[in-house]
Amino acid sequence: MAGTSSSSKIVYFVVIPLILLSGIIVILNQKPSSAYSWPTFHNSLNSRFKLPRGRHSVAEKTSGAAATAAASPAVAAVEDQLPVVENEGTIITAEFRKNYSNLEMVEARLARARAIIQETERNNETSYDPDYVPTGSIYRNPNAFHRSYLEMEKELKIYVYEDGEPPLFHYSTSLGILGIEGILIHQIEISKFRTKDPRNAHVYFVPISVQSIATYAYVKHNRAWTPLQDIARDYVNLISTKYPYWNRTLGRDHFILGCHDWTPTVSHGVPLLYKNSIRVLCNANTSEGFKPSTDVSMPEIYLPDGTMDGLIGGPPPSARSILVFYAGGVHGYIRQVLMEQWKNNKDHDVQIHEYLPKDMSYYGMFRKSKYCICPSGWEVASPRMVEAIYMGCVPVLLKDHYAKPFDDVLDWSTFSVDVQVSEIPDLKNILMAIPQERYVEMQKMGIRVRRHFEVNFPPKRFDVFHMILHSIWLRRINIQLHETHES
Ligand SMILES: *[C@@H]1O[C@H](CO)[C@@H](O)[C@H](O)[C@H]1NC(C)=O
Ligand SMILES: *[C@@H]1O[C@H](CO)[C@@H](O)[C@H](O)[C@H]1NC(C)=O
Ligand SMILES: *[C@@H]1O[C@H](CO)[C@@H](O)[C@H](O)[C@H]1NC(C)=O
Ligand SMILES: *[C@@H]1O[C@H](CO)[C@@H](O)[C@H](O)[C@H]1NC(C)=O
């Protein structure tokens, strides 16, 4: 991070991009206990890094530390010791294999990937790509992201536990506003990133579906969480007894994925899952235990017909006559404030409705408006954010405690507007005060960022499926794991 321009400072304001800068965060939010001893070949690396706490102190430390990380003899040693690994993970040269556990081998490969990403970041190198090269201000660091993405494509292996039967496991509905849960679970199960050999996996997928649990196991009006949490707890007990991988890291290289708003609560019933594992959640409420450094915020995406047909695209800024649009139920306190302030106003510019007037088309309004309000409802996420991005309307995020998806990679300020709940009375003035050129630029950036929110069957490079995997990958390369016992 040589020339610290103001734009590169933005990078500092989020904890996660530090992965790209600093490489190593030692087990987050927790002091390494004496039960956890680092494999010896990591020691000289570890001593260079302190557990990051505050954002600024981390940023200050990393600029120097990052420069030494890749050049460190430890990383070089790890590189030398790396076995040649074939595509399927078969180890060819294995002289030193007996001295390293599988986890250490996996860690060594991750250390290499980490060093390559740091190198790219430091030298501001672009990488070749036949399909797409990330560039421009929508990215916090386009070159480092691209390199990290390419390393993910090359390296990432996901093991999916095979135990459990649909519908509670390995399945979730792909329809409705939570459909992204079923789509992504299915896409992971059939993905080329899936490995059948758990010994070579970087991450382990715990294939629970909270949406299915809520549908099939929830007894109506019985507001008891325990039976639902028990399903998750029993599953984790099963895999942690039957296989060595959970106990090895106490779940830190395991992940769950859920769009249902009960997913955080269900995961809360399994202490290590809640505390250690990577939780991919739509309900990314930082006030309810969502940790941006270990958890992944997943966009809520509603595909009425099960595909993106008819959703993508909208007219240019010049054809958008309405300033701002919202229509939807008054769920939760934020929408209540919004409605109290704006519902019955006669201003043509500000179209805020609880019920969409009969002569208006919902998606038509997204296409006629410059800005679309995406307020939190019962939970922080809502499908409007992606609908706005699909249709070329600049999203106005009206949310408290929301961790935005892919915030580690994307600079949301280039294609969306944040409005605080306390600013609702000033909504119109705030939007009117944005200069036309700035609006046009944000609208253009929104179209460029769209590919990262698209849902394809089968998935395409850089789409939402790959962005979710990349988010998991970033969190995985950001920690070094070690076993709780000698193996
Ligand atoms: C691996 O372990 C064996 C004994 O178990 C030892 O003789 C050998 O020197 C070790 N090799 C390395 C590279 O540490
Ligand atoms: C990094 O390289 C890109 C082109 O590849 C260039 O536009 C950008 O200004 C460079 N950034 C820095 C900080 O040198
Ligand atoms: C993992 O730890 C639990 C609790 O300590 C234990 O019951 C279980 O048998 C362990 N699993 C394995 C595979 O050793
Ligand atoms: C986020 O969590 C806080 C704390 O539990 C809660 O008060 C708030 O309502 C939640 N936000 C939404 C939109 O659910």
Q: Which ligand is nearest to the CA of 285?
A: 4
| 186-212 pLDDT tens trace | 999 999 999 999 999 999 999 999 999
Burial letters for 414-434: b for 16+ Cβ neighbours within 10 Å, e otherwise?
A: bbbbebeeeebeebbebbeee
Residues 6+ apart with CB under 8 A from 130: none
Residues 75 and 87 in one domain: yes
Rounded to 5 degrees, what are φ and ψ at 313?
105, 155
Ligand 3 atom 5, closest CA: 247
Q: How many Å lie between the centroid of ligand 3 and the Cα of residue 208?
A: 20
Domain-terminating residue out of 126, 155, 184: 155
- C-alpha of residue 286 to centroid of ligand 4, in Å: 9
Same domain, 338 and 447: yes
Helices within 156-215 (DSSP H only): 180-189, 210-212
Residue 240 counted as domain residue = yes
Residue 219 domain-assigned (yes or no): yes
Same domain? For 171 and 223 the reply is yes
Residue span of the structural domain in which 207 resides: 158-303+457-477
- What's the CA gap between 365 and 383, in Å, rounded? 15
- Mean pLDDT estimate for the chain: 82
Residues 377 and 321 in one domain: yes
Grouping H, G, I as helix, E, B as strand and the rest as coil, residue 41 is: helix
- Is the same domain home to 180 and 289? yes
Assess if residue 487 is contained within a domain. Answer: no
- Domain for residue 262, yes or no? yes
DSSP 81-116: HPPPB-TT--BS--TTGGGS-HHHHHHHHHHHHHHH
Q: Where does residue 101 rank: exposed (0-12), middle (13-18), buried (19+ CB within 10 A)?
A: middle
Ligand approaching nearest to the C-alpha of 251: 3
Q: pLDDT tier at 1 (50, 70, 90 boundaries)? A: very low
pLDDT of residue 76 exceeding 90, the answer is no
Do 236 and 273 contact (CB within 8 A), yes or no?
yes
Q: What is the pLDDT of residues 289-330, one digit of tens each?
A: 999 999 999 999 999 999 999 999 999 999 999 999 999 999
Q: Which amino acid is at 393?
A: C
Report whether residue 5 contacts ligand 3, using a CB cutoff of 6 Å: no
Last residue of a domain, one of 124, 155, 186: 155
The verdict on 365 and 292 lying in the same domain is no
Considering the domain boundaries, does residue 483 fall inside one? Answer: no
**Which pairing describes strands 350-353 and 394-398: parallel, antiparallel, or unpaired?**
unpaired
485 is a domain residue: no
Instruction: Confirm whether 291 is domain-assigned.
Output: yes
Same domain, 409 and 429: yes
Atom of ligand 4 nearest to the CA of 261: 14
The model scores a pTM over 0.75 = yes
Given a cut of 50, is residue 17 above it in pLDDT?
Answer: no
Ligand 3 atom closest to 243 (CA): 13
Q: Once rounded to an integer, what is the mean pLDDT over residues 146-157?
A: 96
CA of 96 to the centre of ligand 1 (A): 7
Structural domains counted in the chain:
3
Q: Which ligand is nearest to the CA of 246?
A: 3
- 95 and 235 in a single domain? The answer is no
The strand pairing partners of 254, in sequence order, are 204
Considering only CA atoms, which of 399, 439, 438, 435 is closest in space to residue 419? 399
Q: Which of 155, 184, 200 is the last residue of a domain?
A: 155
Question: Ligand 3: which of 236, 240, 486 to mutate, judged by most atoms within 8 Å of the beta carbon?
Answer: 240
